[in-house]
């Protein structure tokens, strides 16, 4: 191994350490990529990767539009109406209220794709409801946190789905069709595993709370708005409505914005501002991470590390199957975010999966979902901290209860996506 390769590996280890210490992920990825390119004697490789990412409209357009729609949902409180509608149903299911809360959160997380944003919206309603029903506060918080295990991978506007589609040269709907059944079954596995822990600890009932009922009048039209873009895209992709077959993800999100205005009659100028506020957040935060991941991978490619990695996996295909789950899972756990690890892995490795005899769609989805599962048992994840705040307990209490659900979920994911297909 050359001196350049050794220095490159040291840079990557330092980058991983800094991500674990929660340094700003975009800065870490960009500087690591630039450093790798400089070691390779080709600093322009990093800058070209940066420019190439910014010019990728297939990634940019759906991400910023989806984030804009998410901000409109929050401003108009349409997401709150959906949460309260589903929470009302939870009151009636008695003993299965804990797994029910996981599934309700997962369903809402499909539309409100940010784990932290979903936890903030859902936790404010479900955690007090669960506590009032006798569930221990830590168990209530863990249920909502567990619900963010990865259901956004059913949303074609979700950044991870778009990245997998890009590197595998598929459409987001094709990516979702490939893993949809696994993600849905995974929701029930995570819910059942957490419920087993909670019932074993006898935390599903018996807790006495002084929380008072809060009246909230649900508007069914407003509650339906978060689901409209997904419904339109599904109708178009299945050709159930031929007129929608050419509808793009960004177009569906914009239609959703108009529906939010129609349902709430908020000031259209304010809704426009919120949409473009989210638009900017999507570009600066979500797309920013993707861009810097491309810079990081560009530096690896300039140094020859990607080619070396592909050669190793070509000789040991089983290594790719395991690393596609274990790597993003562990980084999601230690960094509190599954994004940087999964996107970097998919950009560097999944794009070449066919070269070592693997289905790129399976590998890409596995890496992306595994990162989310690892994050779902991380005490430093933003969603965990938010849920812990609502529950009034330590984030570590939530993370401990989610260990079994996350690990069992990751094992199921690996077996089904990597070995049974």
Q: Contact, 143 vs 97, CB < 8 A?
A: no
Domain of residue 351 covers: 3-8+22-419
Residue by residue, DSSP assigns 274-312 as: HHHHHHHHIIIIIHHHHHHHHHHHHHHHHHTHHHHHHHH
Q: Contact, 111 vs 225, CB < 8 A?
A: no
Instruction: Please check whether residue 327 lies inside any domain of the structure.
Output: yes
d(CA 280, CA 239): 32
Number of domains into which the chain is organized: 1
pTM: 0.89
pLDDT tens digit at each of 421 positions of the chain: 688 889 999 999 999 889 888 889 899 999 999 999 999 999 999 999 999 988 887 888 999 999 999 999 999 999 999 999 998 888 778 779 999 999 999 999 999 999 999 999 999 999 999 998 899 999 999 999 999 999 999 999 999 999 999 999 999 999 999 999 999 999 999 999 999 999 999 998 888 876 666 678 999 999 999 999 999 999 998 889 999 988 999 999 999 999 999 999 999 999 999 999 999 999 998 899 999 999 999 999 999 988 888 888 777 877 878 888 998 999 889 888 878 778 888 888 888 888 778 899 999 999 999 999 999 999 989 999 999 999 999 999 999 999 999 999 999 999 999 998 7
Distances (CA, A) of 261 to 77, 110, 265, 268, 310: 11, 21, 5, 7, 49
The secondary structure of residue 266, as a DSSP letter, is -
Residue 352's pLDDT is what? 85
Residues 6 or more apart whose CB falls under 8 angstroms from that of 294 comprise 49, 50, 52, 53, 347
**Count of beta carbons in the 10 Å neighbourhood of residue 27:** 11
Helix (H) or strand (E) holding 258: helix 249-264
Residue 176's pLDDT is what? 96
d(CA 209, CA 122): 19
User: Residue for token digits 């094709």?
Assistant: 174
Residue 357's pLDDT is what? 80
Q: Contact, 232 vs 247, CB < 8 A?
A: yes
Instruction: Please check whether residue 15 lies inside any domain of the structure.
Output: no
Number of helices and strands in the chain (H, E): 21, 0
- CA triplet 392, 396, 401: central angle to 5 degrees? 95
Residue 221's pLDDT is what? 96
- CA triplet 407, 410, 412: central angle to 5 degrees? 110
Residue 94's pLDDT is what? 75
Residue 214's pLDDT is what? 67
Q: Contact, 8 vs 300, CB < 8 A?
A: yes
Q: Contact, 366 vs 413, CB < 8 A?
A: yes
Instruction: Please check whether residue 366 lies inside any domain of the structure.
Output: yes
Residue 312's pLDDT is what? 80
Query: What's CA 181's distance to the chain center, in Å?
Result: 17
Q: Contact, 113 vs 155, CB < 8 A?
A: yes
Query: What's CA 412's distance to the chain center, in Å?
Result: 18
Instruction: Please check whether residue 259 lies inside any domain of the structure.
Output: yes
Compute the Cα dihedral for 90, 338, 368, 110 and give only its sign. Answer: positive
Distances (CA, A) of 354 to 44, 279, 327: 28, 34, 20
Residue 213's pLDDT is what? 66
**Burial class of residue 57 (count of CB atoms within 10 Å of its CB; 0-12, 13-18, 19+):** exposed
Instruction: Please check whether residue 17 lies inside any domain of the structure.
Output: no
**Burial class of residue 247 (count of CB atoms within 10 Å of its CB; 0-12, 13-18, 19+):** middle
Instruction: Please check whether residue 403 lies inside any domain of the structure.
Output: yes
């Amino acid at each position: 191994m050359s001196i350049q390769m050794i220095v490159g590996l040291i840079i990557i280890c330092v980058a991983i350490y800094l991500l674990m210490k929660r340094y700003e992920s975009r800065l870490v990825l960009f500087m690591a990529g630039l450093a790798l390119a400089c070691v390779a004697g080709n600093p322009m490789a990093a800058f070209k990767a940066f420019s190439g990412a910014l010019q990728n409209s297939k990634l940019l357009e759906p991400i910023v539009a989806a984030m804009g729609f998410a901000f409109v949902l929050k401003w108009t409180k349409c997401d709150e109406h959906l949460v309260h509608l589903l929470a009302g149903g939870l009151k009636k299911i008695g003993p299965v209220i804990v797994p029910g809360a996981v599934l309700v959160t997962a369903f809402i997380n499909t539309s409100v794709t940010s784990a932290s944003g979903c936890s903030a919206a859902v936790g404010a309603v479900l955690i007090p409801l669960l506590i009032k029903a006798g569930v221990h506060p830590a168990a209530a918080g863990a249920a909502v946190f567990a619900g963010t295990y990865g259901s956004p991978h059913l949303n074609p506007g979700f950044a991870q789905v778009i990245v997998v589609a890009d590197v595998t040269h598929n459409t987001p709907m094709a990516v979702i069709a490939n893993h949809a059944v696994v993600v849905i079954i995974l929701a029930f596995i995570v819910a059942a595993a957490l419920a087993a822990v909670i019932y074993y600890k006898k935390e599903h009932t018996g807790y006495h709370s002084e929380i008072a009922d809060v009246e909230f009048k649900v508007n069914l039209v407003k509650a339906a708005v978060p689901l409209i873009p997904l419904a339109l895209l599904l109708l178009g992709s299945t050709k159930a409505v031929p007129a929608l077959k050419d509808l793009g993800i960004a177009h569906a999100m914009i239609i959703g914005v108009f529906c939010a205005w129609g349902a709430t009659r908020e000031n259209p100028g304010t809704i426009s501002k919120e949409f473009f506020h989210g638009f900017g957040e999507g570009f600066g935060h979500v797309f920013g991470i993707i861009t810097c991941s491309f810079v990081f991978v560009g530096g690896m490619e300039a140094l020859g590390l990607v080619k070396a990695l592909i050669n190793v996996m070509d000789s040991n295909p089983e290594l790719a199957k395991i690393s596609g789950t274990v790597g993003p899972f562990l980084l999601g756990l230690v960094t509190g975010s599954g994004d940087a690890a999964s996107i970097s892995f998919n950009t560097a490795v999944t794009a070449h999966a066919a070269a070592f005899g693997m289905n790129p769609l399976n590998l890409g989805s596995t890496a992306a979902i595994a990162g989310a599962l690892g994050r779902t048992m991380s005490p430093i994840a933003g969603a965990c901290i938010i849920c812990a705040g609502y529950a009034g307990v330590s984030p570590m209490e939530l993370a401990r209860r989610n260990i079994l659900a996350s690990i069992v979920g990751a094992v199921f994911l690996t077996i089904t996506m990597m070995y049974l297909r």
